[in-house]
Structure 1
Amino acid sequence: MRLFKVVSNSLCLITVEAHSFGATSDANMSNNQLRNEILLELAFLQSVGSKIFLGPFINGNKLRMVGYYITCILMMCTITQLSFTLITDGSKDWLEIINIAPNLGVIIMAYIKYTRSHAYKELYEEIFYHFKDGMWNIVARQSQEHQKIVKSYKWMVMAINRFLVFYTIPLTLIVDSFPYLFMVYNNKMHGVTDEYLYPYDAWYPFNKVKWYAAAYIWESFMTAIVIAVFVILDVMHTSYIGFICMELKLLGNCLEEILSPDNVVAILEDRNAREVHRTVVNKLKIIISKHIFLAKITSKLDKVLGDAMLLNYSLGAIFICLTAFTFTVVDVTYKRIRYFLMFMSLVIEIFNQCLLGQVLNDHSKNLTEAIYFSDWSYASPEAKKLMLMFMMRTQKQFRLTGKGYIVMNMNSFSSICSSSYQFYNLLRTIYK
């Protein structure tokens, strides 16, 4: 009978250990699967970056560097071409300034974003490898909440990226083919034979009617490049901001659960209280170091995006106003459609940057609140001191700005829209 009890207890112990090992194994598999999914998204990011010669960010081959410099030269040629068009045509008719200025502003912003991203390629590489390797020591293996956070943010970033990338293909085809198709339609349906339409209608040192095919191919090619630069850089920045927000959310959850109910009971009953306090302090130090790193890379990203964001804020209202005014005033159907599409693209681009800034600021702000929800009153004096210092650090929230002058958030977007509407009314009054 005694032997039976010993065997029975041993079997129960083996069963419990097997279940525990199985649960740990399942948690490890789940974490590894989530990490692999994030790695796949980072690989996708690197793949689309290579399409405009920005990925891998460092240690790229010579052919990739040649492609980057050729792209820069082509964009500079287009900027020069549109600048000359603005001078020559704008001096004849002020309405032509309205037609040309938005195109010139868009390609200047694309050039600035492109060159700044290349200049800070070490930063992009550092962020890339942080989310590949450095972030995962704060993800608890058996935490369902952590897995839920990683999974939700991964799906959100992936959905936005896929939409932006696959939206680019039909957008480029429509923008490049629409002038020619509209010209053919007018020729077939209305017998118009002396109309020549182009994607952005710039000046050339030769007769562009005689060399219509060459001019059209050049403008279509450069339009595709500018769209690709805008969209792919938006994909990269959206991914990085999304993953930064994901890590801030994980840090907030770690703070809320830094003292579990079992830890509180152990402290109150003085069971291994010293060990619990030591563990809490070590966790706090890891959380603070992660937050310091995120603050550093966010500050550097703000410098990278600052020039383009300042241009977006200062000139965005003007360009939105000009494109809205053009498509409501001109009588040519083609120009109405073209400038309406440009108007919508400008609004979406500015909205995207303001939304990214707002989301980043909100996640940074929520980290301060997470400290209040933790059981900090049971922590040791050292842990309380660290929490207080960390709370003071989190008062300086993460922001995206236009060179430090303008904070990019939804209030800024509202201000841009309001200014655009006022400029639009002024132009309509002057025109009438």
Structure 2
Amino acid sequence: MFAPRKERSIFLNEIHLLSFYLSKLFLFPFFGKTKFKQFGYYSTYFLIVFTSIQLCFTLVLTGLNDFIEIINISPNLGVCVMCAIKYAKVNSNRALYYDIFEHFREDLWKTISEYSAEDLKTITKYTKIFKLTNRTLILYLSLPLIAIVTIFPWILMVYENKVGKEQKLLLPFDGWYPFDKVNWYFVVYIWESFMTGLIILVYAITDALNISFVACICMELKLLGNSLENLINPEDIENITRRKNISRTHENIKRKLNVTIKRHTFLAKISSELNITLGDLMLVNYTFGSLFICLTAFTFTVVDDLYKSLRYFFFFIALIVAVLDQCIMGQSLSDSSEQLAEAIHASNWLYADQQTKRTLLMLLMRTQKPLQLTANGYLVMNLDTFTRICSSSYQFFNLLRTIYQP
């Protein structure tokens, strides 16, 4: 069966959609940016860093004497800093992202000339995952979250005005300004709405980029597993047992195995580099994820303010999703690479010649150490790690509830 044009076209559409999202953040193309895009990138990075500095001033000048204000401001500051790091990481490691992008856009399809029914199922499955990631993180999660955080304060103020309650000036986040926010309320509201939307989009799109690329790596690992399982097919077995064209058959098996090993070597290389790139972020996520999840959960449960409670509830959900995404990435990558060992055992290796058997044994030894995403090597990101983060958050939450005296 020759290369499936329909499946490939759908997959490439998702690749191009991802590149469209990245281009709106001035991260794509990875090389050869115009001066306008370079200016856009540095301006965006400056705005995110500036907002982080603003929140630092807010914490120091207005929050240190108030426990509730500390836990109110800290998660916002943490997310801004994380967003700045994510944004800079993609740009500074653009050579890696370019290699991965080009591999799955062009090179993957050149190295595979034939597809089995199992391959088609694999491509279709991971294309759906790719599609779901692009739409869920950006369209179904980020845009509604932006709408809630930026529009809800205004709606609530209009409602309170109509029912005759004392009107309070609500804002998307609590920032410090060297002037009276009341006199410049609309300017402040527009600034905070814009920055809230920008930070959420940067956070979501950079996460979508990493999740999508890990999903692509998992897809190719599964395709490699299919290739190994069919390394020695029934026709090859018949030729070997009947000693018919035996030399040509073994050479064909070696050729297919060499192609598989080259592809696995490339995947191991980019997975290792991606692990190094994301290691700092994952370490910060593990270290502060429990704290920020705990603080947002505590805030929306104890604050006697409808707007703040709703705002931090959605903040809490977004943080849970962000941590879960990274743990699922690591779990999926480990599981997919471990399945290669099973594929080698199912490859009818008994019919191979001695050289092929030795090569398969070496490949089997390489697969004993699965591809992983780690927090700078300190711990493996997987669902067990997510469970530990949630457990730590719950313990901190109970501690805060115990010591907090309103």
TM-score, structure 2 length as denominator?
0.97
Partner of 2:366: 393
TM-aligned CA deviation for residue 367 of structure 1: 0.8
> Is 1:31 aligned with 2:4?
yes
Matches within 5 A, 1:148-297: 148-167=121-140, 168-193=142-167, 195-297=168-270
> Secondary structure of 1:190's match?
coil
Partner of 1:64: 37
TM-aligned CA deviation for residue 274 of structure 1: 1.1
Contact 1:327 1:336 in 2 (8 A): yes
Contact 2:145 2:314 in 1 (8 A): no
Number of positions where the alignment pairs a residue of Structure 1 with one of Structure 2 = 404
Partner of 2:109: 136
TM-aligned CA deviation for residue 165 of structure 1: 2.3
Partner of 1:425: 398
2:85 aligned residue (102, 105, 112) = 112
TM-aligned CA deviation for residue 255 of structure 1: 0.3
Contact 2:337 2:370 in 1 (8 A): yes
Contact 2:59 2:74 in 1 (8 A): yes
Q: 1: CA distance between counterparts of 2:104 and 2:62?
A: 50
1:52 aligned residue (17, 25, 30) = 25
Q: 2: CA distance between counterparts of 1:224 and 1:110?
A: 12
**After TM superposition, what 4+ stretches of structure 1 lie above 4 angstroms from structure 2?**
none
Q: 1: CA distance between counterparts of 2:307 and 2:58?
A: 20
> Is 1:371 aligned with 2:344?
yes
Unaligned runs of 5+ in 1: 1-26
Contact 1:138 1:250 in 2 (8 A): no
> Is 1:101 aligned with 2:74?
yes
Per-residue CA deviation, residues 44-96 of structure 1 (Å, 9 max, x unaligned), is 11111101111111111110010000001101110110001111122221211
Letter in 1 for 2:337: S
Contact 1:198 1:216 in 2 (8 A): yes
Give identity over the alignment, percent: 47
Unaligned runs of 5+ in 2: none
Q: 2: CA distance between counterparts of 1:415 and 1:421?
A: 10
Partner of 1:12: none
Distance 1:142 1:401, change over 3 A: closer
> Secondary structure of 2:369's match?
coil
TM-aligned CA deviation for residue 34 of structure 1: 2.3
> Is 1:347 aligned with 2:316?
no
> Is 1:91 aligned with 2:64?
yes
Contact 2:327 2:381 in 1 (8 A): yes
- The Cα RMSD (Å) is 1.3
Letter in 1 for 2:40: G
TM-aligned CA deviation for residue 159 of structure 1: 2.2
Contact 1:112 1:307 in 2 (8 A): no
Contact 1:140 1:146 in 2 (8 A): no
Partner of 1:305: 278
Letter in 2 for 1:100: I
Q: 1: CA distance between counterparts of 2:241 and 2:404?
A: 78
Q: 1: CA distance between counterparts of 2:256 and 2:99?
A: 23
TM-aligned CA deviation for residue 155 of structure 1: 1.9
TM-aligned CA deviation for residue 138 of structure 1: 4.5
